[in-house]
Structures are given as C-alpha cells and as structure tokens.
C-alpha cells in the first residue's frame, strides 16, 4: 500500500525520522510499524537528483520486499533501523511552532501559509537549544552525513554500491574497494544510501563494522571514525542553514577561501530584519573575515557555525577582524 504525505502538520515524529531538508523521502515498513529501510538523499542545492535515481529507487524497493519476505525472522538486522526516542512527538509541540498550525492544510484558503514544511522541524529543534542558551549538538548542527564524509561515494543507480573511495579516508583505511556492495553496517541491513546516512547520523561509537559483498564473497570490514569527523559535513546547501546564518552570522553568507589561515569571504549580506544584523554591524560584501574571537585557524562556514553556536549565545557580541581592500577593520557581530 502506498501512502503519500505532503506536509509536516501533525507529523508523527516518533515514526517519521528522516532528513528534514529533503524534498522527497520514502519509508518502507511493515503494518506493525517496523521500518525495513529509508530512501532519499541529497548533498547539493542545485543538483537535487545527484544522489538518487529511479533505477536506485527500484532496486531499493525490491530489496525492501526481500526483507519483508523474511520478516520477522530477520528482526535482528532491522532493530537498529527503528526510530529513536524523541523529545517532541509532533512538530507543533516545539515552542517556536506551537499554536501556529492546524493538523491539516487549508486547501480552501492560504495553502502555503497553512503548510508546516519539513525543514521547519529541524529549525525548531535547533531553536529549542538556542532559546535555552544551550550549545547545539553536532548531530543537530550537521544532520544526516553523506557517505562521502567517510570517503565513500555510492552509485545513485544502485542500492549501496561503492563507485569511488577517497584516498586516505576512513573508508580507504578500512579496506573498501570499488564495486563493493554494502550489505550490513553497524549490524543493520542496508538497502539505500539513506540507510547508510541513518547509521552515520546515529553513530555513537568510534568505529563501525561493515559487511560488503565483493564478487561472490562476503567480506568483513571496520571503519574507524576520526574525532570530530562529523564537523566536515558541508551543510551550506541546506534550507535549514539559513536560520543558522541568522543566529551565528547575522544573515551573512560566507565562502571559504582555502589556505593555512582563516579566510571567509562575505558573499552576501542579509538585508531584512534579523537577517540584517550583520549589515547593521558594518559588514560589507567581499569583506574577508580573518579572525573570530581570537581564532585564526582555517574554518569553513559550516565549521564557523559550530564554533559560534556551541560557544556563544544570544546577546553576545563577537569581535571580528576583516580585511577590506588594503585595510583591516574591527567589527562586533551580535549573536541571535
């Protein structure tokens, strides 16, 4: 039976846990709510279909049916795929969303305004930490890491087959080879890239055991996760990152200029309301940030979010040094 949900209004967060920045996600489950797998991955703003395909979806569907045929004997390899405990059972329970949405969309009136969008769930979760002056955890700041973060590129036309391995990466050191098909990861049956992301999202140990199909043989591997591996996750493409820019950079969009020192170029300056806080503080397009609160080490925009949102809180003013042409300018960036 196929069921299509088109809004997050009254969404059951105890069951539907997925990457809320997606425009399409699929769940395969038994009638008793046991989840066989998930489908839907994205790593780019403009190329939304770079990581998925109809061919890959078809193969994942077939794999889900195979798991269903073996159910419930295969409960062991499905246990880790089940939803995790949540603080809010419905999006409307988050303080920032409370009282703003009805359980259903107003199709006779303001359709878009009455629709609670999926990305608002992640934004509300972050705001819950921020409003209590608590650091936003890495798993909430950097959600749903792609396999490329540990060195694996999976073919979008396949379930979970390796097409490329980054040299020197955790996957390379673990012994992965091109054309390996991931069967199990952290003891869970893998039928899609999204399933791999689920494992990475919930990883709590410093290593992950994997079983891959290599030719006719099954091979056991173990991936060692480096310290702070998650923070290399580029979240700039995500819709939910726009609210992080409001909190941390006052609406500034920053581009990373690679080098041995901090160099973040202001690519865009927000113009309205709280997204204009950077503008009001004196930042201008093409300013290059070279020091933040005494820090000069190289950081991407995503890494700067972590530094600020885990160490600075609403009302703080962070000293920033920028270069503007040939001069250095000292500014104070307000945290929100």
State residue 53's pLDDT score.
97
Mean pLDDT across 19-35: 96
Question: Average pLDDT of the chain?
Answer: 96
Degrees, nearest 5: CA angle 24-27-30: 160
- Report, at the CATH architecture level, how domain 240-334 is classified: Roll (2.30)
State residue 9's pLDDT score.
97
Residue with tokens 């920032």: 96
Q: Sort residue 33 into left (φ over 0), alpha (ψ -120 to 50) or beta.
A: left
Concatenate the DSSP letters of all residues of 6-49 into one string: ---TT--TTT--S-TT-S--EEEE-TTS-EEEEE-----SS-TT
State residue 258's pLDDT score.
79
Q: Report the distance separating Cα 281 and Cα 91, nearest Å.
A: 34
Smallest Cα–Cα separation from 170: which of 120, 219, 225? Answer: 225
pLDDT at 260 over 90: no
Question: 60-74 pLDDT, tens per residue?
Answer: 999 999 999 999 999
Domain 147-230 has CATH 1.10.10.10: no
Question: 83-128 pLDDT, tens per residue?
Answer: 999 999 999 999 999 999 999 999 999 999 999 999 999 999 999 9
pLDDT at 48 over 90: no
Percent of the residues in the chain that have a pLDDT greater than 90, as a whole number:
96
Mean pLDDT across 171-197: 98
State residue 278's pLDDT score.
98
Q: Report the distance separating Cα 238 and Cα 20, nearest Å.
A: 10
- What Cα–Cα distance (Å) separates residue 285 from each residue in 45, 227, 323? 22, 34, 11
| Strands (DSSP E) found in 186-305 | 188-189, 207-214, 217-224, 252-256, 264-269, 288-292
Mean pLDDT across 256-280: 93
Q: Report the distance separating Cα 254 and Cα 47, nearest Å.
A: 20
Question: 292-324 pLDDT, tens per residue?
Answer: 999 999 999 999 999 999 999 999 999 999 999
Q: CB under 8 Å, gap of 24 or more: what pairs does 99-105 form?
A: 101/9, 102/9, 103/9, 103/10, 104/7, 104/9, 104/10, 105/6, 105/7, 105/9
φ, ψ dihedrals at 45, nearest 5°: -70, -45
What residue segments make up the domains of the chain, in order of their start? 26-141, 147-230, 240-334
Topology alike, domains 147-230 and 240-334: yes
Q: Sort residue 281 into left (φ over 0), alpha (ψ -120 to 50) or beta.
A: alpha
pLDDT-wise least confident of 52-61, 75-84, 226-235? 226-235
Q: Report the distance separating Cα 153 and Cα 199, nearest Å.
A: 16
Contact 76, 184 (CB under 8 A): no
């Amino acid at each position: 039976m196929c069921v299509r949900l088109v809004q997050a209004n009254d969404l059951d967060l105890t069951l539907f846990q997925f990457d809320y920045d997606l425009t399409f996600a699929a769940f395969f489950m038994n009638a008793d709510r046991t989840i066989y797998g998930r489908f839907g991955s994205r790593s780019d703003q403009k190329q939304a279909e770079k990581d998925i395909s109809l061919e890959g979806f078809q193969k994942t569907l077939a794999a889900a049916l195979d798991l269903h045929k073996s159910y419930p004997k295969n409960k062991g390899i499905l246990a880790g795929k089940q939803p995790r405990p949540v603080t809010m059972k419905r999006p409307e329970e988050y303080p920032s969303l409370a009282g703003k949405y009805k359980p259903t969309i107003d199709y006779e009136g303001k359709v878009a305004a009455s629709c609670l969008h999926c990305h608002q769930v992640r934004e509300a979760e972050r705001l819950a930490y921020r409003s209590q002056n608590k650091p936003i955890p890495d798993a909430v700041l950097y959600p749903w890491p792609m396999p490329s973060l540990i060195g694996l590129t999976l073919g979008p036309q396949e379930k979970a087959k390796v097409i490329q391995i980054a040299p020197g990466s955790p996957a390379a050191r673990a012994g992965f080879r091109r054309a390996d098909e991931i069967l199990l990861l952290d003891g869970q049956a893998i039928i899609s890239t999204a399933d791999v992301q689920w494992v990475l999202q919930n990883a709590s140990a410093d290593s992950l055991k994997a079983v891959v199909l290599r030719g006719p043989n099954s091979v056991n591997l173990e991936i060692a996760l480096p310290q702070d591996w998650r923070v290399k996750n580029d979240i700039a493409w995500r819709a939910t990152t726009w609210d992080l820019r409001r909190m941390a950079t006052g609406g500034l969009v920053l581009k990373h200029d690679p080098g041995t020192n901090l160099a973040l170029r202001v690519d865009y300056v927000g113009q309205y309301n709280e997204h204009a806080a950077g503008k009001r503080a004196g930042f201008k397009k093409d300013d290059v940030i070279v020091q933040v609160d005494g820090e000069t080490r190289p950081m991407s925009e995503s890494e700067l979010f972590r530094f600020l949102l885990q160490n600075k809180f609403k009302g703080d003013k962070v000293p920033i040094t920028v270069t503007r042409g040939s001069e250095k300018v000292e500014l104070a960036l307000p945290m929100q």
